[in-house]
Structure 1
Amino acid sequence: MTEPLSILHRDEHLVAVHKPAGLLVHRSKLAGGEREFLLQRLRDQLGQRIYPVHRLDRPTSGVMVFALNPATATRLGDSFAERRVAKRYLAVVRGTGPECERLDYALREEDGSRPKSEMPALEAVTEIRRLDSVELPVQVDRYPTSRYSLMEARPLTGRRHQIRRHLSRRGYPIIGDAKHGKGNHNRFFAQRLGCPRLLLAAVGLSFDHPVSGHRLALSCALDAPMTALFQRLGWAGHLPVDGARCPDVPLPVAT
């Protein structure tokens, strides 16, 4: 039996959940023979219709918000389209990433409908910050030791695979990224560290509630494999926790 989705916040207008890694949000041309989707699972769990207002890539885990009626869907959709939603991600990357940097490489869309050369390059901006790093006494590449970093990413635009492509282009691919990363490091984390997945998680969303107008801050904990990895690498102090708050109610702190 499939476990219920973790509900981070719910009121009469919207609901926020933790999307598991590897789960498609909804049916699409790329779905193939898939039979399970986040939209359907959440609808069945709540017993009511829900309306998607943004997206997460299939391999990315983390917080997603859905509207519970068409009017709220329109307002939330406008907030995302107009870049009035603050997003926070955590990523494990190869190498010792920069302390703080603004990446503004323009990106071509990757929708598969036309050759990339025919797609226009669109503005894409991501702010990144290194939270921690580690050097392991293991030779994965050509060096005798291997360095990895925990990066915080805050995308200011919403291009497809934006964080993955920006970090890869900067020289710090996300571990587990089969398309933009490096296979030997991906295999090392899968086989030796128990993380056979993209190590990218959407851990925070902040936006004005579409009805009350109050700022709503949503925080999402990592799944079990990423939590265990953080603890193993000495990064437990950076673990987010599940929660939702208005500005006058602080989120709990991980211990």
Structure 2
Amino acid sequence: MGNLDLIIHVDEKDSGCTIGNLLRRKKGFSRALVRKLKRSGGIRCNGTPVFMGEKVTAGDVLVVTMPGEEPTLLEPEEIPLDIVFEDQDILAVNKPAGMLVHPVKWEQSGTLANAVLYYWREAGITGRFRPVYRLDRDTSGIVLVALSQYAAQQLAAQLEKKLLRRRYLAVVVGTPPNAGRIDLPLGLKPGHSAEWMVTPGGRPAITHYRLLGKLGNGRTGSSVPAFSLLCLELETGRTHQIRVHMSHIGHPLLGDARYGGDEKLFHRQALHAAAIDFYHPRTGVPVKLRTPVPADMRELVRLLRSRESEFRNQ
């Protein structure tokens, strides 16, 4: 996958560290990756192969060559990709609604993984498909894919430390307050394998939301129901988190029939992963990625606004 060598310049504060400690404590390498590097002999200091227990001094230059990996065993498929960002460490794709990120037992084709593997094969790349997080099938927007074990670890650590920020746009039923924080634990609904609920024994889950605009009148006796456009940010990333949280507070996503949303006007959950901010795993430079609202959601917002305008003019 291109040049995956990582170059580390040793400064005064790291002088005297062993190479193993430097990689683990300063650069965030997992123990498993350090063990792989130890077996592969993939570390040079000032051009000379070295061992993990050797110490470094200020001015040394370490070159870490990432060990090779087995590719993902999945059939590549020629499926168009909307690439938002790409370099030797990261691939960011704008996933359309209706596409799974990764195959499941009963569906092994037509997924984002199949499409990415085909794209890589055509570019002469062999590697593992590593989405940093997943989106539901019917949620559109940015999916971040790491091109190496190291990049995946760094981005996962940013998720854990809340340095990787994800923001979504959604159309919900009703009009919530202008802003809010939902801190409610989530767990599987009893007797279900893919439906979630708020439950005291669940895993912690926190969602922040901000009202961007009202899309319907919602007056008592009005034939025009109230809808709202929200910006939501995940502090945690549980399965179906936004969908369950918004449904629980009485504002399900439009089109989300599973969690109480009306699907007459829209036939999927009206949710789009529109923005992601993170620090590049190799350079530490801030990266900000954005995607436009897809055509079906734009048309939905236009329709709801036009219905509101028609009601006012009656």
**TM-score (normalizing by structure 2):** 0.64
Structure 2 match to 1:89: 168
Query: Does the 8 Å CA contact 1:124/1:156 hold for their aligned counterparts?
Result: yes
Equivalent pairs, count = 223
Farther off after superposition, 101-110 or 64-73: 101-110
Distance 1:130 1:145, change over 3 A: same
Query: Does the 8 Å CA contact 2:84/2:92 hold for their aligned counterparts?
Result: yes
List structure 1 segments (4+ residues) > 4 angstroms apart after TM superposition: 113-119, 136-139
1:121 equivalenced with 2:192 (yes/no): no
1:18 equivalenced with 2:94 (yes/no): yes
1:130 to 205, 211, 223: 211
Q: What amino acid sits opposite 2:88 in the alignment? A: E
Distance 1:22 1:113, change over 3 A: closer
Give, in whole Å, the separation in 2 of the partners of 1:174 and 1:149. Answer: 10
1:200 equivalenced with 2:271 (yes/no): yes
Cα deviation digits, residues 60-89 of structure 1 (max 9, x gap): 110011011222122122222333211100
Q: What amino acid sits opposite 2:263 in the alignment? A: N
Structure 2 match to 1:214: 285
Give, in whole Å, the separation in 1 of the partners of 2:196 and 2:150. Answer: 36
Q: What amino acid sits opposite 1:213 in the alignment? A: G
2:118 to 44, 47, 65: 44
Cα deviation digits, residues 32-76 of structure 1 (max 9, x gap): 245211011012123233422211111111001101122212212
Give, in whole Å, the separation in 2 of the partners of 1:127 and 1:117. Answer: 16
Distance 1:227 1:27, change over 3 A: same
Alignment of 1:168-187 (within 5 A): 168-182=247-261, 185-187=262-264
Structure 2 match to 1:192: none
What SS class does the counterpart of residue 132 from structure 1 fall into? strand
Query: Does the 8 Å CA contact 1:60/1:199 hold for their aligned counterparts?
Result: yes
Structure 2 unaligned runs (5+)? 1-76, 307-314
Give, in whole Å, the separation in 2 of the partners of 1:53 and 1:22. Answer: 19
Cα deviation digits, residues 6-45 of structure 1 (max 9, x gap): 110111111101011111111224xx24521101101212
Query: Does the 8 Å CA contact 1:97/1:151 hold for their aligned counterparts?
Result: no
CA RMSD of aligned residues (A): 3.0
What SS class does the counterpart of residue 288 from structure 2 fall into? strand
Give, in whole Å, the separation in 1 of the partners of 2:254 and 2:242. Answer: 12
Give, in whole Å, the separation in 2 of the partners of 1:170 and 1:118. Answer: 13
Structure 1 residue 229 displacement after superposition: 2.3
Distance 1:33 1:210, change over 3 A: closer
Higher relative contact order (CA 8 A, sep 6+): 1
Distance 1:54 1:115, change over 3 A: closer
Give, in whole Å, the separation in 2 of the partners of 1:24 and 1:229. Answer: 23
Larger radius of gyration: 2
Distance 1:24 1:87, change over 3 A: same
What SS class does the counterpart of residue 75 from structure 1 fall into? helix
Structure 2 match to 1:163: 242
Query: Does the 8 Å CA contact 1:54/1:80 hold for their aligned counterparts?
Result: no
Give, in whole Å, the separation in 2 of the partners of 1:35 and 1:100. Answer: 40
What SS class does the counterpart of residue 226 from structure 2 fall into? strand
Alignment of 1:66-81 (within 5 A): 66-81=145-160
Structure 1 residue 230 displacement after superposition: 2.9
Give, in whole Å, the separation in 1 of the partners of 2:305 and 2:87. Answer: 36
What SS class does the counterpart of residue 213 from structure 1 fall into? coil
Structure 2 match to 1:244: none
